[in-house]
Structure 1
Amino acid sequence: MKHIVEENGTVRYRLLHIVDVSLYVYWLIRILFISLIFINPELFPLYRYDYASLYFWNHRNILNKFFALILILFVFTGLLGMQTFFFNNVNKHGFQLIYDCIVRNTDQYYKSRDTDENIAMKLSQRFEDYQQQFARNHRLLSQITPIANRMVSFKVWRDSWVEMDRIDKNLFGKINKMRLFPNASIKGRNYILLFVLIMDFCNYCLHIFILLVLLIGAFIVIYFQISQFDIVQNSFVLKLSLMIELILFIHNTFVMLQCAMLLSGVILATYHAFHNQLANMNQNFMKILKNSQNGKPINMTVLKELRFIHIEHNTLSYYVLHGDKTTWSQALYYYALVSIPINVLFMCELIVEDIPAQTEFVFILIALIHVITGLIPFITLAHVSSAFHKIKDYIPAMQLQLNRSTHIRMKLKYDDLYERLMSGKKIAFTFGYLGNLTFRGLFEAFLGYIAAFFLIMGFYIREHST
């Protein structure tokens, strides 16, 4: 994300991603040419001259026209991801919000790191406290010193990250604030930071895993199958072309993986930023309501807190609605239109075709990555919408506690907020024209997926039987 925002517009940035787009366009043309053999193999006998077309033709029971369509849709997904992240206006509010969550918050963390001496003192004190607590709670295990020390050390390491022992909390919370979320709590910012660090580690591991899978798969396919074709053995040009296309295929796969990780990462980071702040606001609102119902008077301090909650709720609502309208709505719309057919076609291939175990494993792996990177982020965004509207369940009770003469302005503000939450535009991200990204919207999308599945499955079976 730092590369996208800070290097956007430079010559190196434009050249790098124009090359990425060019390679994807090349693969789109390549797949379209290969698919011609399924339209009319006699009119387009490309398998006589092209090793990729010959490979598809020899395995046409699996690598059929529907598989070619899956590849085309994957290429469009990659192009959509690059257009969304690499060729968009980074000055839009949606990008600045993500930059604030992922990059600026992480930079402020490193700027707020405490001295090594203070960190060592905090860890030492935490270790002593946990050791005493462990000895009280587990007297028998505490007698086994190596096991006890290892368990206590692990808990100290874990909680030192959760409690942010490595930073100066006053500096991090009061001076090195986030720009668009200046009122975010230290706990909420810590969750975002830990998520970013974990995401970086998972991204690194996933790249290594995918690289190993690609290299092993490429070795099996090329060495044992494609390299045995006569047209490849008799032509040095085709051998060289095969190696070049293998490198380009691995590169394009990693570009698509980066776009998928970017999509998941920015959505989940946004979720943590919004949800933690909304949860804290809702908790404070319910606490004020409970205290008021128990007879505690509403003084100026409470009114300031209610005013802050109202203003912050409106600000966060603007962040969601404006960012969705300018940046994410159309991207999520096209992503849904492309992703649903991909998943349905994969399911059709797995159900109908007699696929070897190795190929079935690859198909299942791709389908799982596709589902995980798509479904989980969308569920979290639906959860954000639910958190925005949760406060409406407590506003009527709060209105009864506010005095109609001395608290009239506050009553009117929350009355307006309640009306907007009940009857106004849903505070949620959207799938473009498909609807709101809420739990109800996801359920409707699931019903649409079921309908698309049976529709495409029927067409697939008819084509398969002819």
Structure 2
Amino acid sequence: MLLQIRHFIYDAMKHIVEQHGTARYRLLHNVEVIFYLYWLIRISIIGLMYLDSDQFPLYEYDYASAFVWKHRKICNKFFIIIAILLIMTVLLGIRTFYFHHVDTISFQIPYDCIVYNTDQYYKSQDTDENIAKKLSQRFENYQQQFARNHRLLSQIIPIANRVVSFKVWRDSWLEMDRVDRNLFENQNKMHLFPYASFKGRTYILRFVMIADALSYFSHIIGAMIFMYGFYLWFPELYYYEMVQNSWLLKLSLIIEVILFVHNAFVSIQCAMLLSWTMLSSYQAFHSGLIDLNRNFISILNDCRYNGKSIAVNDIKKLFFIYRQHNRLAYYVIFPDQDAWSQALCYYALVSIPVNVTLMCIIIVEDLPGQLESVYILITLIHAITGLIPFLTTAQVSSAFHKIKDYIPAMQIQLNRSTHLRMKLKYDDLYERLMHGKKIAFTFGYLGDLTYRGLFEAFLGYFVAFFLIIGFYMKEHQDQARN
């Protein structure tokens, strides 16, 4: 578990890339794997009770088995399956993030977006004098605008000043008034996205800052939930007769509670790493593709509607757009094949049954209010951390293929002999976009991570839901008869 929670996503990516391979790094994450393997074995052994409770009466000797067996209406065999699948998912996350080579662009892209771009931001801070001038000028402009638009309220000076001051604070943060724009754009560029616009880089910066804040509060809320759970369930475990009669079991209980909290936080951190790294990369890809598509359409509209012919500068811009489009496509295809495709495939195969089973428990079981809230919270967190990153990556794929709608019209405008080379390049690009492999992340062999792929996965979710709920209802009826 990483303890730098104040700026978690920044510190986590810095830790993964810069400390990878060190003795401390290997020790930390090998221990995490050992802890999770221990829990996998522990829960699998507890699951033996559900196969044959007479042959494996573990509840007579083990406090955890006794606790689960006592609450078996809630902690049924499907609950055990969920726990095993979640542990396997976290092991997959640990393997993907902490045991993969970091010297490829698979990790250099999120590092460039999250760490390097943030470092360049702090290196490009403007002087205090210039910042004060910007804020003063912004305050004066907003004050005049407020006086024009709200004459009556502007007479109430305290209210007017508070409103204007808030707008100045908000917009100065959104527009990065504390940055020397010339230094940030022209000297302190990103490594892998050197042509990223100022607007695109500020989007990434704001996202990283918001992600760090959300991660910090998620850790705090998680700690509060664990404290509440400790208050509810630890006394019950501690006062089992078998625990009271053995100091060894008391020590074991305390150690396992600590391990449970540690492993739970590791799972939360893996979920946040998956979400934040994919979303930060999305910001870089999406803003870059938006700029390329907008410039391409601008050149086309100048030719079609303004009667301009394609000049030498336009050819240079078209060549730049073509080259950058290919470069960004490589930034998607190689990391997908190198690291993310297999991980996303396993994540999808494990996550869909987990989410479906959680839904079955919420729908079918008569849960106490507090426990039902916990299940709903877990289900929502699991769904959101998986769905939002996948939707954003599908949006990136859509942005990659948007340019194909305008290439045929551009080909008509490239009607000179000097345009032949450019015409052939865009003809090749059009062919690849129309009939080639999709420029998108993939679910391994399951398909492409596009809107169509997500729709097919959504249909698969419903199929899995009805299959699993059928088994769940049958199991529930068998338990009721017994």
TM-score range, shorter chain: over 0.9
What is the one-letter code of the residue matched to 2:82? I
Distance in 1, Cα, partners of 2:435 & 2:377: 43
Q: Structure 1 residue 136: deviation in Å? A: 0.9
Matched pairs, number? 465
Matches within 5 A, 1:197-236: 197-223=209-235, 225-236=236-247
1:252 matches 2:263: yes
1:75 matches 2:87: yes
Aligned 8 A contact 2:238 2:253 in 1: no
Q: Match for 1:436 among 448, 458, 474?
A: 448
Aligned to 1:174: 186
Aligned to 1:365: 377
Distance in 2, Cα, partners of 1:330 & 1:171: 40
1:187 matches 2:189: no
Measured on the aligned residues, the alpha-carbon RMSD in Å equals 1.0
Aligned to 1:276: 287
Aligned 8 A contact 1:130 1:152 in 2: yes
Deviations 1:152-200 (A, max 9, x none): 1111111112211111111111111111101000110110011001100
1:53 matches 2:62: no
Q: Structure 1 residue 238: deviation in Å? A: 1.9
Q: Structure 1 residue 228: deviation in Å? A: 3.2
Aligned to 2:438: 426
Q: Structure 1 residue 233: deviation in Å? A: 2.5
Aligned to 1:450: 462
Q: Match for 2:407 among 395, 407, 426?
A: 395
SS in 2 for 1:407: helix
Q: Match for 1:127 among 136, 139, 145?
A: 139
Q: Structure 1 residue 368: deviation in Å? A: 0.5
Aligned 8 A contact 1:92 1:327 in 2: no
What is the one-letter code of the residue matched to 2:220? I
Deviations 1:120-148 (A, max 9, x none): 11111111111111111111221222222
Aligned to 2:4: none
1:459 matches 2:466: no
Normalising by structure 2, we get a TM-score of 0.95
Aligned 8 A contact 2:93 2:270 in 1: yes
Distance in 2, Cα, partners of 1:216 & 1:10: 37
Aligned to 1:384: 396
Q: Structure 1 residue 406: deviation in Å? A: 2.9
Runs of 4+ in 1 over 3 A off after TM superposition: none
Aligned 8 A contact 1:404 1:411 in 2: no
Distance in 1, Cα, partners of 2:89 & 2:157: 55
Distance in 2, Cα, partners of 1:145 & 1:29: 68
Q: Structure 1 residue 58: deviation in Å? A: 0.7
Q: Match for 1:297 among 293, 298, 309?
A: 309
Distance in 1, Cα, partners of 2:151 & 2:252: 69
Q: Match for 2:41 among 20, 29, 49?
A: 29
Aligned 8 A contact 1:98 1:269 in 2: yes
Aligned to 2:114: 102
1:146 matches 2:158: yes
Aligned to 2:24: 12
Q: Structure 1 residue 288: deviation in Å? A: 1.0
Distance in 2, Cα, partners of 1:79 & 1:335: 11
Aligned 8 A contact 2:153 2:160 in 1: yes
* Contiguous gaps of at least 5 residues in structure 1: none
Distance in 1, Cα, partners of 2:105 & 2:215: 26
Identity of aligned residues (%): 65
Normalising by structure 1, we get a TM-score of 0.98
Deviations 1:18-63 (A, max 9, x none): 1111110111111011111111111111101111100111111110
* Contiguous gaps of at least 5 residues in structure 2: 1-12
Aligned to 2:321: 309
